[in-house]
Structure 1
Amino acid sequence: MRKVLKEKIIEVCDKKIASKGENVGLSFYAFFANKNDNPELLMEAAEWWIMTHKLDHFEKAAKIKELVQNL
Structure 2
Amino acid sequence: MRASLKQKIITVCDLKIAQKGEQVGLSFYAFFANKNDNPELLMEAAQWWISTHQLDHFEKATKIKKLIETET
Per the TM superposition, whether the score is higher than 0.5 is: yes
- CA–CA separation in structure 2 for the residues paired with 1:9 and 1:26: 10
Unaligned runs of 5+ in 2: none
- CA–CA separation in structure 1 for the residues paired with 2:33 and 2:15: 15
- CA–CA separation in structure 1 for the residues paired with 2:38 and 2:14: 22
- CA–CA separation in structure 2 for the residues paired with 1:3 and 1:37: 19
Aligned residues: 71
- CA–CA separation in structure 2 for the residues paired with 1:61 and 1:34: 19
Q: Which residue of 1 aligns with 2:66?
A: 66
Runs of 4+ in 1 over 6 A off after TM superposition: none
Q: TM-score, normalised by structure 2?
A: 0.98
Shift of residue 64, structure 1, vs aligned partner: 0.0
Question: CA-atom RMSD, angstroms?
Answer: 0.3
Unaligned runs of 5+ in 1: none
Shift of residue 36, structure 1, vs aligned partner: 0.6
